[in-house]
Chains A and B, each alone.
Chain A
Amino acid sequence: MAKLNMVKALNLALLEEMERDNDVLVLGEDVGVDGGVFRVTDDLQRKFGSQRVIDSPLAEAAIIGTAVGMALYGLKPVCEIQFSGFAFQCFHQIENHCARYRMRSQGRFHIPMVIRMPYGGGVRALEHHSESEEQFYAHIPGLKMVIPSGPRTARGLLAAAIRDPDPVIFFEAKALYHAAKEDVPDESEALPIGRAQIAREGDALTLVAYGAMLRVALEAADILRTEDGAGVEVIDLLTISPLDRDALVTSVKKTGRAVVVHEAPRSFGPGAEIAASIMDGAFLSLEAPIRRVTAHDVPFVGFAREKANVPDVPRVVAAVRETLAF
């Protein structure tokens, strides 16, 4: 067991997968010599050379387009988009090609690639550096959308994403990069994509969160346990798409109540799909309407006001209390 932060854990996963499989390669802006703006690809070029750790031009469409070609050829590229806010430059490549090749070729080709992007607020970054836009990718059939919540899940899910035969969008919460360290097993570990985890057991309410919001949810659950004596079950979604509906439904059938937390703006966000899935599967167990605690329906605000926009512990606690009291 080693105690690692999320940057080191992601770096470890890349290292292990590149050692395990010679077809795995890394490309993106500043990933080579610089080791990535957040140092996730630190030292990889020195170990694996510039043929497998490629510094790309500042051109997101080119990174993804090139990678799609590599994947068709049989390689397993892991692309880094420096900030998810810049991904619109390559959205065409992702949506029109990356996501569609398996369908378009009737299964003859598939795209085994990973697109890593830092996402989310809480680090006082500039415009286009703080958005939470997982819903764009989760909405596209043919893509998988994964968001780890800490070092161990980051390492295990990145390994699984690299081994996955199809394209995986892999979001990394900037707020978590250098946050808490966590024990990461010595053995290489791949966590199943499409499977949520119960981060904390409880029977009063199901609190659904992912990425950086998991910490917020757990803190809220602590407060609710001590102040209200309410056992809140916290589900760490880990994969946004495909959604682990079974885990959600099983939990809500037990608790009868649910609150969803995400950093993305509310309207048409993942919370809506999560709430609808719970309605479908656990309707007759519901004791209260499902609430969402989300960012507001505004473009991401400047860093001076981001705390008012991104859900925090008091907002989650208040929503849970309202739902419990309904």
Chain B
Amino acid sequence: MPRPFALPDLGEGLTEAEIVKVLVGEGDVVAEDAPLLEVETDKATVEIPSPFAGRVARVHIQPGQTVKVGEVLVTFDDSSVASAGQGRGASEPHSPRTPPPAPSPLPRRQPATVANVSEQPVEHAAGGAGRAGASAPAMATGTGIGVGPVPATPATRRLARELGVELRAVRATGPAGRVTDDDVRAAASGSASRSSSLAARVNPAQRGQAVAEPGAAAPTRGGADAERAQVAKPLAPIGAEAPPLPRFEQWGPVQRQPLSHLRRTIAERMALSATLIPHVTHFDRADVTELDAIIRRSVEPARERGLVLTLTSFLLKAAALALKEHPQFNASLDGAAGELILKRYYHLGVAVATERGLIVPVIRDVDRKPLVELQRELATLAQRVREGKATLDDLRGGTFTITNIGALGGTGAIPIINYPEAAILGVARAREEPVVLEGRIVPRTLLPISLTFDHRVADGADGARFAAAIVRRLERPEQLLLDW
């Protein structure tokens, strides 16, 4: 049975996109979530993953073509090919009780809540068990939204009945979370659930992991084979459900504001991280008096070369070098496999505050690049991000994140890990403070840092050592020059 795949709603009210690249050909067997094609919207270039595993029967579009939301892009062959497929889709163990979901006439529930967020990634992390939890009836009773009747007018209810659509399974876009006639029609034509889940999947940072560059992961796996004497087992799935909110109107007037696409992405990602990862934060302070002096001395020569020198590039370098010493912080935990994926590359994300919200562009191979180049790349990337011109490639593939809250003051903050990384470094404002040195009180410039890491991956002592490795490099800047 051929299964058509149409351009999903990519969010932000976009109605059309231009095809940049077609990454599959007719006859190809693709795994679920494998990249199908790249499209360019007026916001960004977005890679669209395959909604399911199967053989590509027909590709209906070609590069350069502009397609509207809902237009069929690719038609897939029978789903039975899926099990014979390669890549992630096939490597995920499906429990015998929960066969991979067939394309059901009723779209899966995609409530616009945290439940929506956790569904997709939990599915990856927990394999078969996650799938079972995502099937329509379970979601219906399992989420907070599943309590009480779905908000919809009587006319919409009748339409849903006539079209055989389960209201609870429809993604609501109307005011006050109401399911509209259009939502029901979209669900009936089979596009609603898909578009919403894909809209979630194409969010930049998440996509970076969903496609998980197989080339990078493979050698790690091979190398770890020797240590896999014990049998790896999947972790238990995490079921987090938001209870229904109280009726705030009973205490005073309220206003409901729909989340922007970016805000929703941040919310989903943060909730996912905070839910899934047991966070622990280690605090330290680095004496950056010397580093500060170096930066001050170099500001002018740097400017002559068209550069604005900042502490961030030194932080990047220090962190990358420290990560080499402490590889478990440059890793991701594969709960489904019961393995730690150590990354042999050091792509560091830097949190950039924009008017629209937080975005984390990624600088690649920080360990191998000279400081000046890091500084230059950082400036270009930050500007692209602020102008909304960042591509997905700018935003994904990170292995560790640095967030500098110093510009806005404060004495420190506890950052949340950029899932599915293992750690994040928060940096507050450096201040001159009285320090006792060899029995005398002297003014020194101290930089407060806070290292948040995944306690499943490392313990407090590891965190302290890793933080110290960063501090040491910041306190002795010559180490940065020597790449030690």
Q: Give chain A's interface residues, CB within 8 Å of chain B.
A: 256, 283-288, 326
Contact = CB atoms under 8 A, between A and B. Distances in A.
A256 B158 CA distance: 12
A97 to B, nearest CB: 43
B154 interface: yes
B408 interface: no
Nearest to B154: A286
Contacts of B156: 287
B411 interface: no
Interface of B, helix, strand, loop or mixed by DSSP: helix
Interface residues of B, number: 7
B165 to A, nearest CB: 15
Interface of B: 153-158, 175
A284 B157 CA distance: 7
Nearest to A279: B154
Which among B155, B156, B175 has the greatest number of chain A C-beta atoms within 10 A? B155
Nearest to A289: B153
8 contacts: A283-B154, A284-B157, A284-B158, A285-B154, A286-B153, A286-B154, A286-B155, A287-B153
Contacts of A283: 154
A286 B156 CA distance: 8
A205 to B, nearest CB: 13
B407 to A, nearest CB: 43
Contacts of B155: 256, 284-287
A252 to B, nearest CB: 10
Contacts of A288: 153
Most buried by B among A256, A284, A286: A284
Contacts of A287: 153, 155-156
A111 to B, nearest CB: 42
B398 to A, nearest CB: 44
Contacts of A285: 154-155, 158
A285 B158 CA distance: 8
A16 B156 CA distance: 52
Nearest to A283: B154
Contacts of B154: 283-286
B270 to A, nearest CB: 33
B167 to A, nearest CB: 14
B132 to A, nearest CB: 35
A253 to B, nearest CB: 10
Nearest to B174: A326
A54 to B, nearest CB: 54
Contacts of A326: 153, 175
Q: Which 3 A-B pairs have the closest CB atoms?
A: A284-B158, A286-B154, A287-B155
Contacts of B153: 286-288, 326
A297 to B, nearest CB: 22
Contacts of A256: 155
B126 to A, nearest CB: 41
A7 B157 CA distance: 49
Nearest to B155: A287
A179 to B, nearest CB: 38
B128 to A, nearest CB: 41
Contacts of B158: 284-285
Nearest to B181: A287
A256 B156 CA distance: 11
Nearest to A325: B175
A288 B158 CA distance: 14
A285 B156 CA distance: 8
Given A285-B158, A326-B153, 9 more contacts: A283-B154, A284-B155, A284-B157, A284-B158, A285-B155, A286-B155, A287-B155, A288-B153, A326-B175
B153 to A, nearest CB: 5
A279 to B, nearest CB: 9
B255 to A, nearest CB: 16
A286 B157 CA distance: 10
Nearest to A256: B155
Nearest to A282: B154
B448 to A, nearest CB: 51
A286 B175 CA distance: 16
